[in-house]
Copies of this chain bind each other. A is one copy, B any other.
């Protein structure tokens, strides 16, 4: 058996400073022209060298869906698994291999429909994986059915009379599931996305990043209110740690304040400076982050983006006992175990 094949050039990459190219695999990208996935791939490949983790210590585990193809395009270790289960596989990997940087790439169907349970459990357990949820509010790969984030009334191939069900708010769901890192960003805002991904990468524990991603084929423009020039200033509520939460054009700046009834409200910034909420992503109590998540029911309203929550808590997979794993390959310890309890010898 020969497990190798002659190719032209580039070695194992351990010797030189990593560049974006080191993270690009030789597979042709096969998304539709204009798909938001390209921009995300580009941002991730560009960010990677900065994280200081070599390609061989980086793993992408993906589910099935257009988003799932991501694994093939990264020149790291990767697994394109089955629909909805990437998180479970990543959990097994993270539990056994603390030395790796593990990323899960998933779609709104993959992560929230078939994979919803694994997602909430991975967040609850705080499994050290970075979960990127490409939310295009549609099923792309299977050609246009409603997803759990599709808005009510949406006409799709599976809902010819309009989708009946209320969509999930992935940020709220994640916060309800005890997530320690929850963020949202946009495929068309490279800088914002990069910064959010960087913080996700640095977080110790499970990080969930919802990325609003345009699917020009089956759900074109779903997020244009947030991403396009003429609307985005008024629509993006950018959460910045330590800053009062304000948004909109300078001349009509608005902000988020605590309302009299205890809820949140949007007010004119001018004259309300004292009431504006200062964003604290490290707050232990997730309730305020939850309230921020509920500010918008969908991307057609002014919508918060950025990091809703980032707190430190114990990570899954750390050993529960003392001296775990002392005896891997330890024949003596095994022998002792085999002989535990009452034994007798027959000559």
Contacts and interface: CB of A to CB of B under 8 A. Distances in A.
Given A173-B176, A263-B285, 7 more contacts: A115-B117, A116-B116, A117-B117, A161-B321, A169-B176, A174-B176, A287-B294
Contact of A177 (B164, B176, B264, B285): B176
Contact of A288 (B152, B175, B177, B263): B263
A25 interface: no
A218 interface: no
A116 B125 contact: no
Given A165-B316, A291-B287, A121 B116 contact: yes
Contacts of A173: 120, 176-177
A152 B320 CA distance: 11
A288 B316 contact: no
A313 interface: yes
Contacts of A174: 176
A192 B177 CA distance: 27
Given A116-B117, A124-B148, A263-B288, A168 B177 contact: yes
Interface in A296-334: 313-314, 316, 318, 320-321
Contacts of A113: 121
Contacts of A165: 124-126, 316
Contacts of A291: 285, 287, 290-291
Interface string A278-291: 00000101111011
A320 B162 contact: yes
Contacts of A168: 120, 124, 177-178
The A interface, classified by DSSP as helix, strand, loop or mixed, is loop
A159 interface: yes
Contacts of A314: 152, 164, 166
A100 interface: no
B290 A264 contact: no
Nearest to A259: B285
A52 interface: no
Contacts of A159: 320
A161 B294 contact: no
A287 B316 contact: no
Nearest to A288: B262
Contacts of A162: 320
Contact of A290 (B115, B176, B258): B176
Contacts of A286: 290, 294
Interface in A124-165: 124-126, 148, 152, 159, 161-162, 164-165
A274 B162 CA distance: 46
B277 A124 contact: no
A277 B262 contact: yes
A183 interface: no
A148 B177 CA distance: 11
Nearest to A118: B117
A54 interface: no
